[in-house]
Amino acid sequence: MSKTDTMEVVERRGGILVHVAELRHVREFNVLLALLLVGFLISLATPYFLTTNNLMGVFRAFSLTAIMSIGMVMVIITGGIDLSVGSAMGLASLVTALAFEAGFPTGAAISAGLATGLVFGLTNGLLITAIGLPPFIATLGTLSIGRGLMYMITHGVPVTPETPEIFSVLGQGYIGPVPVPVVIMLVLMIVFAVIMLRTRFGRHVYATGGNEHAARLSGVKVNRVKLTVYVLSSTIASIAGIIGFSRYLSAEPASGFGSELDVIAAAAIGGASLAGGVGSVTGAVIGAALVGVIANGVVLLNINTYAQQAITGGVILIAVSLDVLRNRLSGGGN
Amino acid sequence: MSLFLEMHNISKTFPGVKALDHVDLKLNRGEVHALAGENGAGKSTLMKIMTGVYRADPGGSILVEGEEVTIHDPVHARSLGISIIYQELAVVNNLTVAENIFLAREPRGPTGLLDTRKMKADARAVLEELEMDIDPGAMVGRLSIGQKQMVEIARAISYESKLLIMDEPTASLSHHETQTLMRMVKRLSGQGIGVVYISHRLDEIFEISDRITVLRDGATVDTQLIENMTRDRLVLKMVDRELSELFGEHLSHASDEVLLSVRDLSLKRPTTQGARVSDVSFDLRKGEVLGFFGLVGAGRTEVMEMIFGSRPYSGEITIEGKKVEIHDPSTAIDLGIGFVTEDRQGQGLVLGMNVRENFSLTHLSDYCSFDFVRRREEKARCVDYIKSLAIKTPGTEEKVLNLSGGNQQKVVIAKWVARRPRILIVDEPTRGIDIGAKAEVHTLLNDLAAEGLSIIVVSSDLPEILAISDRVIVLREGKVTGELTRSEATQEAVMHAATG
């Protein structure tokens, strides 16, 4: 019921103040605000939080979840879900380890890990687009298959091959004070944020989730878009898997299990709507950071670590509730 | 006639907008009261205040049967005898008719379990009283839209409503169903139930209402007995312009050159609604406006969906003499076909996206280098179209959700026109939009034809078809039953072909 009689189109311009004021409307801004607030509170309670060492540790701890949430949020924006990211991550780390064990050079071993993710994602994508399975079911199935495969291959025993020095840089190295996984996370975040906001593919991802039917009738190749996001999600998860393996140089039979929930939580806290059409890559990464910072606070403040999961759950509910309420207030009417 | 409900001095302010400005409305028992006005005139807001969805600004009052009331919410409104049937029907498809009628007040036996037998019997009684031929045990999802609407009416009546508000009740009904509804409205009024009838269709208003109130820009501009109102005066009151000014002269721009040729087009299988199409053949010329008329279920939309590749077909489609195979919308689009769909919110727009993003979705590659969108150019183009189509929006970044129906429709048309198609199919281009916007859409289509675009207009609004088409094709039960030139196409001739 908006009565808009202005015929001319208002151009947005003005000084930096206008830009800062506009930030309020950006969804990620609220999560970022929450992150800074929580960080501030923790730093009041303990002097150890705001040390370079601790902060870098925190960053490294959540970087893998954050990386996976980049793929996840794209899937969620199309209106889908990828429950299998943990399995894709675990399988990729296992395949990389096995490749090293079989004597592959570093480049080939990493490629094998990435290829695992790619195949995993193609499977998800084809089940969803060609057969028409609901994403929840399709990825629940591949999640289970992935887990089963890992136990079958490892017989429950970690794979710990010899690896070249250079490979361990991925998980253990630093660039200046910044851990390499954090650098990779930031690079992926920037690349995919730009893709989502500035490219035709990104626009098509939002359109598909916003109204699939309208998008198809406008000429968007909806199935191709969906296939692509599932491939990206699994492949990005496999990057996390390879980094994880590089950190401990051991591929655990249970690695990645259960991580899908953290990853979905990060995307949701970052403003993604499971109904599709809404969400952002930066929001998801900030969401992962918020969960990571809280986890760190729990440790630093000597709170019972068992309480951490409950606290994370509370944060998800509060963050998403605030988002919903805010939309109801601003969107009101009709 | 005695007064049932009285609204006094009702105003409603939304942030930045005064939706209603000191409106008065009096509704008698058993009166059919038409409420007319353009989109955005305030009809819906007024009804939402009457049913407790919104609260009016302080200073106004509502009296039901002479007593001042504050209506808290729709449930409270219903207990006061006020029910509403929205354009988007609120029935649950996977429940039976009886379960829908008694939804949220299901009769229960002594054990607390549902008493389905009583529910069915009670439902049957209500339906029989209203002489509706509907089985209380039928699944609502299987019913036609007209029947679903009857179920809603039965539900409202079973609440002992004394006032029933109908918001655009005939927008998706067939001719026959509309007649049934008209009879039902008269019957309800005969039983002393008041009806507020909101419609864009002036014929219906004149056919069934006793009194009419016209709103414009949130204010009451006229309340009259229907005998004292004429069509021209009503339109003038609604839009403040003369009818003849609104609809300009028709000029044909059709050439002799055939652009699209369709032969023996048939649906591969009937649709879930049971529509069939068989052996439809026609030609579309360059610069021609070809009207497609038929009653609901005649298969008009299905024919268009086949041409646009969103429905499998058999038969032959040729464009400029070349045979083409169209299996998905993107193929059709690449061949130069655009499709303004009937359901603009469900199929035409991504409501959560802004005007610019919706606008460019059909032709985003125009602004792309290496998949990167040149946003400045995209925005500039969008601004051009906002201006040339006179789309009322605060800007390119406004979500289309916040635009009125007529302006949403213009965005859909803009997104296709900007792609520069050779053939533009428009399905029910003016459904649910007000008369001012309707005239603008007609002018726009005419201008596009003048530029050489070939246009197929599908509409169940016969005067609209006659006003803008160079030629009319009539469908009945999936077959072409008439092809009339502009001079042959009179209301009677077209209706005759459509009904047989």
- B335 to chain A: closest CA residue: A219
> pTM of the prediction?
0.79
Residues B355 and B286 in one domain: yes
- pLDDT computed for residue B16 by the predictor: 59
Averaged pLDDT for residues B203-231: 90
- pLDDT computed for residue B15 by the predictor: 66
Q: Is the pLDDT of residue B38 over 90?
A: no
Express as a percent the part of chain B with pLDDT over 90: 44
Residues B140 and B276 in one domain: no
Residues B267 and B201 in one domain: no
The Cα A153–Cα A91 span in angstroms is: 10
Residues B35 and B80 in one domain: yes
* Helix or strand holding residue B373 (H, E): strand B372-373
pLDDT single digits (tens) A196-205? 999 999 999 9
The Cα B199–Cα B206 span in angstroms is: 11
Averaged pLDDT for residues B308-323: 92
Q: How would you write A165-203 as a 3-class SS string?
A: HHHHHHHHCEECCEEHHHHHHHHHHHHHHHHHHHEHHHH
Q: What are phi and psi of A130, to 5 degrees?
A: -80, -45
Are A3 and B395 inside 8 Å of each other by CB?
A: no
Residues B458 and B309 in one domain: yes
Averaged pLDDT for residues B410-433: 89
Q: Is the pLDDT of residue A254 over 70?
A: yes
Q: Is the pLDDT of residue B429 over 70?
A: yes
Chain B residues within 8 A of A333 when measuring between CB atoms: 14
pLDDT single digits (tens) A135-194? 999 999 999 999 999 999 999 899 999 999 999 999 999 999 999 999 999 999 999 999
CATH number at residue B237: 3.40.50.300
Residue at B307 is within a domain:
yes
- pLDDT computed for residue A1 by the predictor: 36
Measured between CB atoms, which of B333, B341, B357 is closest to A219? Answer: B333
Residues B337 and B435 in one domain: yes
CB of A1 less than 8 A from some CB of B: yes
Averaged pLDDT for residues B383-404: 88
Residue at B395 is within a domain:
yes
- pLDDT computed for residue B83 by the predictor: 92
Task: Give the type of residue at B323.
Answer: K
The Cα B402–Cα B12 span in angstroms is: 18
User: Any idea what DSSP says for residue B345?
Assistant: I
Residues B136 and B195 in one domain: yes
Residues B315 and B198 in one domain: no
Nearest to B351 by CA among B314, B389, B409, B399: B399
Residue at B65 is within a domain:
yes
Residues B445 and B393 in one domain: yes
What mean pLDDT value characterizes chain B?
87
Q: Is the pLDDT of residue B407 over 80?
A: yes
Q: Is the pLDDT of residue A7 over 50?
A: no
Residue at B246 is within a domain:
no
Q: Which of A55-59, B15-19, B167-171 has the lowest mean pLDDT?
A: B15-19
Domain end (from B196, B212, B241) = B241
The Cα A221–Cα A324 span in angstroms is: 30
Total domains, chain B:
2
Residue at B252 is within a domain:
no
- Dihedral (Cα; B225, B226, B230, B231), 10-degree rounding: 130
Residues B125 and B42 in one domain: yes
Structural domains in chain A?
33-321 (1.10.3470)
Q: Is the pLDDT of residue B203 over 90?
A: no
Question: Among the ranges A233-237, B92-96, B156-160, B259-263, which has the highest mean pLDDT value?
Answer: A233-237
Domain end (from B209, B241, B273) = B241
SS3 content of chain A, % helix, strand, coil (to 5): 75, 0, 25
pLDDT single digits (tens) B243-277? 555 556 677 888 889 999 999 999 887 665 556 78
Q: Is the pLDDT of residue B349 over 60?
A: yes
B32 - beta bridge partners? B195
Residue B337, token pair as written in the block: 């076909």
Supply the range of the domain harboring residue B201: 3-241
Averaged pLDDT for residues B86-93: 82
Residue at B427 is within a domain:
yes
- The more confidently predicted of residues B457 and B299 is B457
- A210 to chain B: closest CA residue: B350
Are B357 and A219 inside 8 Å of each other by CB?
A: no
Residue at B253 is within a domain:
no
Residues B272 and B340 in one domain: yes
pLDDT single digits (tens) A273-316? 888 999 999 999 999 999 899 888 888 888 887 888 888 888 88
CB of A329 less than 8 A from some CB of B: no
Residues B390 and B267 in one domain: yes
Residue at B387 is within a domain:
yes
CB atoms within 10 A of CB B362: 23
Q: Is the pLDDT of residue B410 over 50?
A: yes
Tell me the residues of chain B between 292 and 351 that have a Cβ less than 8 Å away from chain A. 308, 310, 328-330, 333-334, 339, 341, 346-351
Tell whether ipTM is more than 0.85. no
